[in-house]
Amino acid sequence: MAAYLLRRLNLFVATSLILICVLFYATSLFPVDRIYALTGIQAPSDAQEAQIIADYHLDGGSFSQFIGYLGQRLSGDLGISVTSQRPVAEELLAVLPASFELATVSGLFAIIFGVPLGVLASLSKQKLTQNAIMAVTLTGYSIPVFWLGLSLSLWFGVRLGWLPISGQINLLYEIKPVTGFMLIDTLLSDSQYRLSAFKDAALHIILPALTLSVLPFTVVVRITRSAMMNVMNQTYIRAAEARGLPTGKIVLRHALPNALIPLLKHLGLMLGPFASYAIVVEVIFSWPGVGSWLVSGIYQRDYTVIQGGTLAVALLIIFLSILIEVLHTATNPLSRKELYASN
């Protein structure tokens, strides 16, 4: 197992180096001064310019410059935002929790509603029920996320007025950030209006979370259905049925845990599309996360924000993909058997 984890770590390091190399090359293509593109400082003083040249090895060759760029980025120096004149790393840490909160709630929506529907589609003997569930998932998978987000905003936000369509919480509430997760920070607040603030934050996250959860929801339903149909035909399930165990007990204790293993693997493969959908959703609903922050930087030609946001999103996708692969290997008996056999 230690050798396997070492290989996964090497994969993460190698992939991250390739990513940083691509960003380094893209930085040289920006139509601005090299120092400005790297640091965000538009008019550096002589001392600042000398320091930047020394830090980024701009007086050396391409390889030397890449080493300097790599060293600065790995040290956490992502430059200064052209728009706000604040460190990009500081802004990134400020917007990351909102994106994590939205992704977490969306994932919970997808699993809570998707797994039962997938199980129902696999166990139902009625073709109408199966076809209806699969038709819903196929429709959800085909709907463009920007159209869905705008439609939900129009119907439930504008016409019916049930839910807010922008922001993370009403500006009337002053909530001190503790964890960065607004739903948690409202409950941790010492304000007498914390329950009202929590309700308001919950209402704000419903529409963006529902919009973002459609893609993983459809995948969860289809993979759960396929995995359950495969598991229910296994010998040990037949043996449990022969012993007279209730169907509910067989499904919950024996079939479903094994059916969720391939689901975990597919969720890891879906992180890239999920991240791109999240960026669109954050822009539509003005959600103060990494996606809207990155798009705003693109519009304003904030080159350091573009680099920092791209680097952060890509590294998170790489890390989470490898982490999910490790978890899948650890929970899947067949993968563990192959793993130990290779060692």
pLDDT given for residue 211 in this prediction: 92
Among 319, 160, 148, smallest CA distance to 218 is for 148
Exposed/middle/buried for residue 144 (C-beta within 10 Å: 0-12, 13-18, 19+): exposed
Phi and psi torsions of 84, nearest 5°: -100, -15
The predicted-structure confidence for 103-151, as pLDDT tens digits, reads as follows 999 989 998 998 888 888 888 777 887 788 888 888 888 888 888 888 9
- Mean pLDDT score, 39-48: 82
pLDDT given for residue 332 in this prediction: 67
Model's pTM, two decimal places?
0.85
Q: Give the pair of three-digit tokens for residue 215.
A: 């893609």
Q: How far apart are CA 320 and CA 330, in angstroms?
A: 15
pLDDT given for residue 284 in this prediction: 92
Q: What percent of the chain has pLDDT over 70?
A: 96
pLDDT given for residue 132 in this prediction: 85
Q: What confidence category does residue 208 fall into, taking pLDDT thresholds of 50, 70 and 90?
A: very high
Among 228, 216, 256, smallest CA distance to 124 is for 228
Q: What percent of the chain has pLDDT over 90?
A: 8
Q: Compute how many other C-beta atoms are within 10 angstroms of the C-beta atom of residue 305.
A: 27
H helices present in 126-244, as ranges: 127-142, 145-152, 182-188, 194-231, 235-242
pLDDT given for residue 46 in this prediction: 83
**Cα Rg, the chain, nearest whole Å:** 24
Q: How far apart are CA 21 and CA 27, in angstroms?
A: 10
pLDDT given for residue 249 in this prediction: 80
pLDDT given for residue 109 in this prediction: 92
Among 214, 323, 226, smallest CA distance to 274 is for 214
At residue 81's C-alpha, the angle toward residues 77 and 87, to 5°, is 40
Exposed/middle/buried for residue 126 (C-beta within 10 Å: 0-12, 13-18, 19+): exposed
The predicted-structure confidence for 289-343, as pLDDT tens digits, reads as follows 898 999 988 888 888 888 888 888 888 888 888 888 887 777 766 655 555 555 5
pLDDT given for residue 340 in this prediction: 52
Reduced to 3 states, what is the DSSP secondary structure of residue 80? strand
Q: How far apart are CA 144 and CA 150, in angstroms?
A: 10
Helices (H) and strands (E) in the chain, counts: 16, 0
Q: What confidence category does residue 75 fall into, taking pLDDT thresholds of 50, 70 and 90?
A: confident
Cβ atoms of residues 321 and 16 within 8 Å:
no
- Mean pLDDT score, 155-174: 85
- Mean pLDDT score, 76-93: 86
Residue with the bigger pLDDT between 24 and 175: it is 24
Is the pLDDT at 12 greater than 90? The verdict is no
The predicted-structure confidence for 90-104, as pLDDT tens digits, reads as follows 889 888 999 999 999
Is the pLDDT at 77 greater than 90? The verdict is no
At residue 18's C-alpha, the angle toward residues 12 and 20, to 5°, is 100
Reduced to 3 states, what is the DSSP secondary structure of residue 87? strand
CA distances for 4 relative to 8, 15, 63, 264, 324, angstroms: 6, 17, 31, 19, 14
The predicted-structure confidence for 235-263, as pLDDT tens digits, reads as follows 777 887 787 777 778 787 777 888 888 78
Q: Distance from CA of residue 271 to its chain's centroid?
A: 6
Domain ranges of the chain: 90-301
In CATH, what number does 90-301 get? 1.10.3720.10
pLDDT given for residue 47 in this prediction: 86
Q: Give the pair of three-digit tokens for residue 273.
A: 């599309």
Q: How far apart are CA 63 and CA 34, in angstroms?
A: 16
> Which residues have a Cβ under 8 Å from the Cβ of 244 and sit 6 or more positions away?
none
